[in-house]
């Protein structure tokens, strides 16, 4: 059961609800920050009269009960949707937000140059990996803290907030001290200790879908973060594994309208990993936005064929400029589609 307070409810009103529930011995999960306070109640079955009682308390907006295994992430908790803010950037409101940058931080020069291209092209955030998860121990594993410093310098110059991946719990504080948003990568979607540690910072979290995770498992991973009290979570569809090697992954755009129906959290799409082929990034960017995505995260490189990782799926600044322009046009066109989607 979830109790959602009204946007204009006072702290005292929320505290009264909390006190009543704690007094009855329930375990509570509080979510606040990105919208009205929501109070998750679990631990044991709820008495039949409790929902009505709560509804009548001052400041309570509504009480939500369903059988979904994720409780705090379910749409009913915040039917109007959560807006996640990273600096001035908003996910879940307005036109789609476009994040761009290199797969990996390779050098200061590369990142500063690319960040400037992102800004000029109309991207609103910078991505780039300082710690890289690689299948092989013999592949480039990232520059580490040096990479984080480069990203921070790029932010200082361009004004673009930075999102970068964190690979292990012990790294979280270090990465959070540089980044504006923490990325949990596809391979770590079910890494619970990492989810919990990232949630415990005050940073928004970009949670990529595991490449073989069901929608329900993905939302349960988000639930781990929400249950720690951090509701600044943006979901990212980035392709699932299928039987066909024609593309690196199968970008599952069905997930976009489905996620919008099931949860209040915003969703963006990664067409670079989701296709693995440079020529497909532009059309699939447009498709993602037409399906209802709140943003994109795209890999660009000033010289894709020389990239240390993911060269085949990196686009140039020119293509990014074109994507930003067309995504804006589609986003404007579709803003009245909301009622059709959810």
CB of 258 to a second copy, least distance (A): 6
Q: Which stretch binds a second copy (CB under 8 A): 7-15, 107-115, 174-182, 209-217?
A: 209-217
Residues 273-312, one symbol each (x = binds a second copy by CB under 8 A, - = not), give: -xx-x-xx-xxx-xxxxxxx--------------------
CB of 74 to a second copy, least distance (A): 13
Residue choice 135, 156, 202, 305 for contact with a second copy (CB under 8 A): 135
Mask for 166-205, x = binds a second copy (CB under 8 A): -xxxxx---------------xx-xxxxx-----------
> What is the 3 state secondary structure string of 208-225?
ECCCCCCHHHHHHHHHHH
* 264 in Cβ contact with 304 (< 8 Å): no
Q: Is 335 in the site for a second copy (CB under 8 A)?
A: no
Interface with a second copy, residue 321, by CB under 8 A: no
Pick between residue 93 and residue 214 the one whose CB is nearest to a second copy: 214
Taking CB under 8 A as the binding criterion, the range among 10-18, 54-62, 130-138, 156-164 that sits at the site for a second copy is 130-138
Segment lying near a second copy (by CB under 8 A), choices 4-12, 55-63, 66-74, 79-87: 66-74
| Nearest alpha carbon to residue 130 among 161, 197, 175, 160 | 175
Q: Under rule CB under 8 A, which residues in 241-280 are in contact with a second copy?
A: 241-247, 250-254, 256-258, 261, 274-275, 277, 279-280
- Nearest Cα neighbor of 286 from 301, 273, 267, 271 is 271
What is the smallest separation between the CB atom of 251 and a second copy, expressed in angstroms? 5
Judged by beta carbon, residue 68 or residue 113, the one nearer a second copy is: 68
Q: Which residues pair with 42 in a beta bridge?
A: 27
Which parts of the chain are beta strand (E)? 2-5, 27-31, 38-42, 60-64, 84-86, 89-91, 97-101, 125-127, 162-165, 181-184, 205-208, 233-237, 267-269, 295-299
CB nearer to a second copy: give 107 or 141: 141
**CB neighbours of 314 closer than 8 A, spacing ≥ 6?**
102, 103, 272, 278, 299, 300, 301, 304, 307
Place of tokens 């299948």: 135
Of 18-26, 49-57, 95-103, 208-216, the segment contacting a second copy by CB under 8 A is: 208-216
| Shortest reach from residue 143's CB to a second copy, in Å | 16
Size of interface with a second copy, in residues (CB under 8 A):
77
Considering only 3, 21, 71, 151, the residue that binds a second copy (CB under 8 A) is 71
Residue 30 or 342 with smaller CB distance to a second copy: 342
Q: b/e per residue, 257-279, with b = 16+ CB within 10 A? A: bbbbebbbbbbbbbbbbbbbebe
Among 173, 214, 306, 335, binds a second copy (CB under 8 A): 214
d(CA 233, CA 223): 10
Question: Interface residues for a second copy in 3-32 (CB under 8 A)?
Answer: none
- Sign, CA torsion 74/75/76/79: positive
**Of the two residues 66 and 88, which places its CB atom closer to a second copy in the complex?**
66
If you write DSSP's letter for every residue of 145-161 in order, what string do you get? HHHHHHHHHHHHHH---
* Alpha-carbon gap, residue 163 to 127, rounded angstroms: 5
């Amino acid at each position: 059961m979830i109790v959602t307070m009204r946007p204009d409810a006072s702290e005292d009103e929320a505290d009264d609800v909390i006190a009543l529930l704690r007094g009855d011995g329930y375990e509570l999960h509080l979510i606040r920050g990105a919208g009205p306070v929501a109070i998750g109640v679990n631990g044991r079955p709820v008495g039949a009269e409790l929902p009505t009682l709560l509804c009548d308390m001052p400041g309570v907006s509504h009480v939500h009960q369903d059988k979904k295994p994720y409780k705090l992430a379910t749409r009913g908790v915040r039917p109007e949707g959560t807006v996640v803010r990273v600096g001035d950037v908003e996910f879940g409101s307005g036109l789609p937000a476009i994040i761009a940058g290199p797969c990996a931080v390779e050098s200061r020069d590369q990142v500063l140059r690319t960040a400037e291209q992102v800004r000029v092209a109309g991207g609103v955030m910078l991505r780039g990996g300082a710690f890289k998860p690689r299948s092989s121990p013999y592949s480039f594993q990232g520059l580490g803290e040096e990479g984080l410093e480069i990203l921070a310098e790029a932010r200082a110059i361009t004004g673009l907030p930075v999102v970068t991946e964190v690979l292990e719990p012990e790294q979280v504080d270090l990465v959070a001290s540089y980044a504006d948003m923490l990325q949990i990568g596809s391979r770590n979607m079910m890494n619970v200790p990492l989810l919990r540690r990232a949630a415990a910072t005050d940073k928004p979290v970009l949670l990529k879908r595991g490449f073989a995770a069901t929608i329900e498992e993905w939302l349960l991973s988000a639930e781990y973060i929400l249950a720690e009290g951090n509701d600044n979570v943006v979901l990212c569809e980035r392709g699932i594994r299928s039987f066909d090697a024609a593309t690196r992954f199968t970008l599952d755009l069905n997930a976009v309208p489905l996620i919008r129906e099931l949860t209040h959290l915003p969703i963006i799409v990664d067409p670079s990993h989701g296709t693995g082929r440079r020529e497909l990034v532009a059309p699939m960017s447009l498709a993602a936005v037409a399906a209802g995505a709140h943003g994109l995260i795209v890999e660009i490189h000033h010289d894709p064929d020389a990239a240390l990782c993911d060269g085949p799926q990196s686009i140039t600044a020119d293509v990014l400029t074109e994507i930003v322009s067309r995504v804006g046009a589609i986003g404007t066109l579709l803003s009245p589609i909301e009622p059709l989607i959810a």
